[in-house]
Structure 1
Amino acid sequence: MSKADYAYEVLLEEIRTGQIPGGTALRAAAVAARLGVSVTPVREALRRLEKDRLISYEAHHGATVVDLGDEALAEFYGVRAVVEGLGARLAASRVTAVELADLRELHRSMAEAAAAGRLEELGAGSERFHLRIADIGGPAFLGQHARAVRASFPVPATASLWLDPEVAARQLEAHERILRALEEGDGTTAERVMIEHVEAGAVHRREHGASPA
């Protein structure tokens, strides 16, 4: 990994997880000193983040992390629902027995973590579950697009909806319904449940400020 790639990956993760909140000014020299690299790779990383629309440049202020509001939140979940719903519909006709078994194992591990109270593990598990289905449904494009959509919206990791035991139970039940639809080859139901599942996350995020997992 080049120094520019390193700086980009660190800043991207920090912005995505809310460690660097919206509205924060990013000074190349300060970031370079913190990461132990020169200013040049940091500037390159900032240019890439600007293309990702995660930072903006303003006169006399330099680079600032974009502060996304309610309209961006609604758009984010809307795009996710469409992309991941389509992925589920296509996956119903393409998923193999091995892939279903892998999804089942992932779901089982999440259920066990929830039962043991390890709720902090569920957000990452959910992301793997969703992206795996998108990969199965659209290996040429959808999986990559689903990842790009998720990477475009900063989220605080400590505010995951999966940290609420009651919400987590409902979300796991939705995963179970999606799995049943995939097993039955029912693309219509898989898409509908996936869309409802993602939209439920949007409602929770608007009401509680939770992360989109």
Structure 2
Amino acid sequence: MLLDDIRSARIPGGTALRAAAVAERLGVSVTPVREALRRLEKDRLISYEPHHGATVIDMGADALEEFYGVRAVVEGLGARLAAGRITPEHLVGLDALHAEMVADLGAGALAGLGEKSRAFHLSIADIGGPAFLGQHARAIRNSVPVPAAASLWLDPVQARANLDAHEHILAALRAADGDLAEKIMIDHVRQAGVSRAS
């Protein structure tokens, strides 16, 4: 619950977290809250200062640039590897998800596109690196909370551009062209970072 609240930015960056207050809000004892705060610090979602307590990390411009840069490298590698490992069944699943997103955009149903895009990207990472690359892609994405209200997918023009990029990634995967799949994925993720920063 606490992790979801931070990842969704319901608890925004810069918020002080007091274990006793969090425990009372969640209706649990302080002990599991302290353990949760230690895990969140390890995942770099909060910082802890002795005598000051825990604070949710506030992601500045430099951190966002780094986040999208790391995402581009990891998800780009996932796309490269996926091009050599993808099966017809994988393609059917990705094509179906992409078609659903295109239909949502056409119907003006933008609210769920961000989560579907996450599923699209992570599915490709899982196909490319089932041993641990997909897990790393998830960890990177989970390290920076993006409020649903700030999703780039809520802008129809941005959503169309993102879906075009997904279509090109699918074509490269279908052609088993790892170089192209990686390049398109890297450009796509980096463009998201540019749009987020502007």
Post-superposition CA distance 1:31-86 (Å, at most 9, x none): 11111111111111001101111111123321111112111111100000000000
Aligned residues: 198
Secondary structure of 1:53's counterpart equals coil
CA distance in structure 2 between the aligned counterparts of 1:97 and 1:59, rounded to whole angstroms: 54
Quote the Cα distance in structure 2 between the aligned partners of 1:144 and 1:49: 17
Could you say which residue in structure 1 is the equivalent of 2:105?
A: 114
Q: Secondary structure at the match of 2:72?
A: helix
d(CA) in 1 for partners of 2:173, 2:116 = 18
Q: Does 1:164 align with 2:155?
A: yes
Comparing 22-31 with 59-68, greater Cα deviation is found at: 59-68
Give runs of ≥4 in structure 1 deviating > 3 Å: none
Cross-structure match for 2:24: 33
Measure, in 2, the Cα distance between the counterparts of 1:60 and 1:96: 54
Partner of 2:12, secondary structure, is: coil
Give the gaps of 5 or more residues in structure 2: none
Larger RCO: Structure 1 or Structure 2 (Cα < 8 Å, ≥ 6 residues apart)? 2
TM-score of the two chains, using structure 1 as the length reference: 0.91
Alpha-carbon distance in structure 1 between the residues aligned to 2:145 and 2:163: 24
Q: Percent identity?
A: 68
Please state how far the C-alpha of 1:11 moved relative to its aligned partner.
Answer: 1.3
Q: Which residue in the other structure is 1:76 paired with?
A: 67
Instruction: Indicate yes or no: 2:180 matched with 1:189.
Output: yes
Aligned AA (1:167): Q
Q: Distance in 1 between matches of 2:108 and 2:59?
A: 32
AA aligned opposite 1:168:
A
TM-score (structure 2 length as normaliser): 0.98
Supply the RMSD in Å over aligned alpha carbons: 0.8
Which residue of 54, 57, 65 corresponds with 1:63? 54
CA distance in 1, matches of 2:197, 2:14: 19
In structure 2, distance between residues paired with 1:163 and 1:16: 18
CA distance in 2, matches of 1:57, 1:176: 43
What is the Cα deviation at residue 139 of structure 1?
A: 0.4
Partner of 1:96: 87
Counterpart CA distance in 1 for 2:167 and 2:85 is 18
- Secondary structure of 2:112's counterpart equals helix
Letter in 1 for 2:171: R
Distance 1:34 1:28 in 2: 10
Q: 2:43 aligns with which of 48, 52, 57?
A: 52
**What residue ranges of structure 1 are gaps of 5+ in the alignment?**
1-9, 208-213
* Partner amino acid, structure 1, of 2:179: T
Instruction: Return the letter of the residue paired with 2:54.
Output: A
The secondary structure found in structure 2 opposite 1:63 is strand
